[in-house]
Structure 1
Amino acid sequence: MSYARKLTHGQRCRILVYDLTSESATVVHTDSAVLFEAPNWSAGGDLILNGDGLLWRLPSGGSAPPRQIPLEGVPELNNDHVLAPGSETIFLSANDGHIYEAPLHGGPGRRVTPDDGLMHFLHGVSPDGTTLAYVGIENQRWDAGSLFTMATDGSATTPLTPAPGGPDDGPEYSPAGDWIYFNTERFSTAPGHAQIARIRPDGSDMHRLTTDDRVNWFPHPSPDGARTVYLSYPPGTTGHPADLPVELRLVDGDAWDSPRTVAKLPGGQGTINVNSWSPDSTRFAYVEYPERNTNGGE
């Protein structure tokens, strides 16, 4: 059985790149057949996405269509995948609940996570490439995910947030490796009211960063540490569903009390689940899912 998401009738997938210098976004690919999700930005200038449970490569300038990266021994993918710093390795979450390692150019994959009773959803790799940060879900309790780290060889599992709890999601290392940014419901009694927080890699000093009435997910620090972009849902949203009017918000430095909305779009799940900053921190990629109007336009 396939769990890969599909476009609805009349829906399109548009992959965009936002440029901080021009403060504008450019569409680099439009697709009406494959629902692409969650771009990474490789050191070589390509976007790495998932779609139809597979991994794809797309030039960030849109000079060619996406092409599949052939993987061996890796089950159908979900949309959580992260590039290892400074290497040609990618870590991938699959729909069997495990994390895999594979060469970015394609080839045989290796399962990283053990059979420990958890479903594992990857979101971060430490700057030195030795440790993964992920969400652990027990017995498919989506309302109680908590954060863990693990060495890239599958050893040294360390819980960061108490379980059950949260739910927590999207753990991602800062460029210096001294913080892990994530979203959590631990600071609210309202179901679904996720806010951005951060915690030290040893599980200490957890504190909240956003305090508004919106539902905030997936914080992504830029490689130079100067900014963070995150996904913001309308108030009252539960979880991180697809096909809602969402915003991408940008935070300069630690000015979490004054984020700037840089894009409004139809999206949510799949838009920006993983870090998609360019290596030079001047651009980031994201995906939107517009419906076609009756006159044939977007």
Structure 2
Amino acid sequence: MIKNYFLRGCVVMFLGVAGAAQAQLRVETYGVGATQIPIAIAGFADETAAPQQVTAVIKADLARSGYFKIIDTGNVMSETTPVNYGEWKGRGADALVIGSVQRLADGRYDVRYRLLDTIKAANLSGFSQTAGPDRLRVAAHKIADDIYEKLIGVRGSFATRIAYVTKSGPEYRLEVADSDGEGTQVALRSNEPIISPAWSPDGTRVAYVSFEQKKPVVYVQDLTNRQRTVIANYRGSNSAPSWSPDGTKLALALSRNGYTQVYTVNADGTNLRQLTNTNGIETEPQFSADGQSIYFTSDRGGGPQIYRMSASGGDAQRVTFNGSYNISPRVSPDGKSLAYISRREGRFQLYLLDIASGQELRLSDTSRDESPSFSPNGKYIMYATESGRRGSLAVVSVDGRVKHQLTTQAGDIREPTWGPFMK
């Protein structure tokens, strides 16, 4: 069991059970941040005539973050409505959001919004954007991102996407959705397992491993035109792709010469280079935030632990020392933290390591966690776990205070990867 779970980073069979048809993800949030900002969000003028209620999406985003206490105004207020700041301050709101959604002659919508500071009686932010009927949720996510950044001081990541693998009956699907699980699109269907999806830094491509050739092969797929490229189809296992920060290379785990070792390859599949050369298993490579190092899982010391080496190869230094079994390294966007899965007392759980100090924090209380992935702003980690004996996705803030779970009514979802900020 131990060796099989470790080998999951090299070749993994989907551990799900048969499920029902494709469904949107349902989000349940638990816990709140250390402090919550009370914010009133008025109904946007004329939004009821639009196919999507923009304010409902904004409220859900901010509530899910754990950092905001939503005050229901019961009002409809456009961005031009005169505001009595004292009234809103008296109702306990530190900030007020107002706006409008106007249908244009070409069928698109003009979405306008303002963020007001009720304490200082001042305008904090605001903008307008044009969106088609199918892009109103994205427009709402962008407003939520702006509110989050102006009030928290960190860029919001609501208008980003996630990818994950769903198993429904005999079918595996690589799916892409908004960060809240809505707007699901299928990138690939297969009757063979799909594993290890990884977003390119520009958010236009996803690398993954498919077993459709009855063996693990690494592909890169363009999400715009669905064209895909074979990146690694060597003898043995081809697995665990991850992108360099500049998007020019991928790190891989290949067993083409016997033992599974770490390699790099250009994003078009050329210029394969072997970086490790041991008699053990070297797998799950991940570039550091600056691209200068690669973190990876190795059993060179007896049990699986996480190591770091130069991106060009060479000597490796051990990074994890607490616990005898640590796998699946993921580096935070600022390069200061490392998320990973640790097995302790028979439970596979999500941990976060401060790389400089060596201090770690357990972030989950479940027992079969897998595949951590940072949000692009570094404030949250998404990972796979189990709920009711089915695979589900969970999200936790890096301080462990805010948690929410994404589930479907039936079927298994695994292998999450959180996409980058979109331009």
Q: Same fold (TM over 0.5)?
A: yes
Residue identity matched to 2:388: E
Q: 1:218 is matched with which residue?
A: 328
In percent, how many aligned pairs have the same letter? 23
> Quick one: which of 190, 204, 207 aligns to 2:317?
207
Unaligned stretches of 5+ in structure 1? 28-41, 236-243, 293-298
Distance change (3 Å), C-alpha of 1:277 and 1:213: closer
Q: 1:296 is matched with which residue?
A: none
What do residues 149-195 of structure 1 show as CA deviations (whole Å, max 9, x unaligned)? 111111111111115x221221000010011011111122xxxx211
Q: Is the 8 A contact 1:168 1:184 kept in 2?
A: yes
Q: Greater share of helix residues, 1 or 2?
A: 2
Q: 1:186 is matched with which residue?
A: 300
Q: Is the 8 A contact 2:197 2:207 kept in 1?
A: yes
Query: Whole-Å Cα distance in 1 between the matches of residues 325 and 184 of structure 2?
Result: 34
What do residues 87-119 of structure 1 show as CA deviations (whole Å, max 9, x unaligned)? 4111111123211111235623221224x3232
CA RMSD of aligned residues (A): 3.3
Query: Whole-Å Cα distance in 2 between the matches of residues 121 and 187 of structure 1?
Result: 22
Q: Is the 8 A contact 1:71 1:106 kept in 2?
A: no
Q: 2:109 is matched with which residue?
A: none
> Quick one: which of 220, 228, 234 aligns to 2:338?
228
> Quick one: which of 261, 264, 267 aligns to 2:362?
261
Residue identity matched to 1:86: D
Q: 2:186 is matched with which residue?
A: 69
> Quick one: which of 178, 181, 195 aligns to 1:79?
195
Q: 2:384 is matched with which residue?
A: 287
Residue identity matched to 2:184: R
Q: 2:232 is matched with which residue?
A: 113
What is the correspondence of 1:3-82 to structure 2 with a 5 Å cutoff?
Answer: 4-7=14-17, 44-52=159-167, 53-62=172-181, 64=182, 67-71=184-188, 76-82=192-198
Q: Is the 8 A contact 2:208 2:241 kept in 1?
A: no
Q: Which runs of 4+ in 1 moved over 3 A?
A: 13-23, 74-77
Q: 2:245 is matched with which residue?
A: 127
State the SS of the aligned residue for 1:101.
strand
- The total of aligned residue pairs comes to 247
Distance change (3 Å), C-alpha of 1:21 and 1:254: farther
Query: Whole-Å Cα distance in 1 between the matches of residues 184 and 313 of structure 2?
Result: 39
The higher radius of gyration belongs to 2
Structure 1 residue 138: deviation in Å?
Answer: 4.2
Distance change (3 Å), C-alpha of 1:122 and 1:47: same
Unaligned stretches of 5+ in structure 2? 1-12, 20-24, 36-63, 66-156, 390-423
Query: Whole-Å Cα distance in 1 between the matches of residues 203 and 220 of structure 2?
Result: 12
Query: Whole-Å Cα distance in 1 between the matches of residues 32 and 266 of structure 2?
Result: 34
What do residues 42-97 of structure 1 show as CA deviations (whole Å, max 9, x unaligned)? 994222101223211233234x3x7342338x884432111111241111111232
Q: 1:90 is matched with which residue?
A: 206
Query: Whole-Å Cα distance in 2 between the matches of residues 44 and 146 of structure 1?
Result: 36
Q: 1:35 is matched with which residue?
A: none
Q: Is the 8 A contact 2:241 2:285 kept in 1?
A: yes
Residue identity matched to 2:354: D
Structure 1 residue 121: deviation in Å?
Answer: 0.5
TM-score, normalization: structure 1?
Answer: 0.72
State the SS of the aligned residue for 2:362.
strand
State the SS of the aligned residue for 1:49.
strand
Bigger relative CO (Cα 8 Å, ≥ 6 apart): 1
TM-score, normalization: structure 2?
Answer: 0.52
Q: 1:240 is matched with which residue?
A: none
Q: Residue 276 in 1 paired to residue 373 in 2?
A: yes
Structure 1 residue 15: deviation in Å?
Answer: 8.0
Residue identity matched to 1:279: P
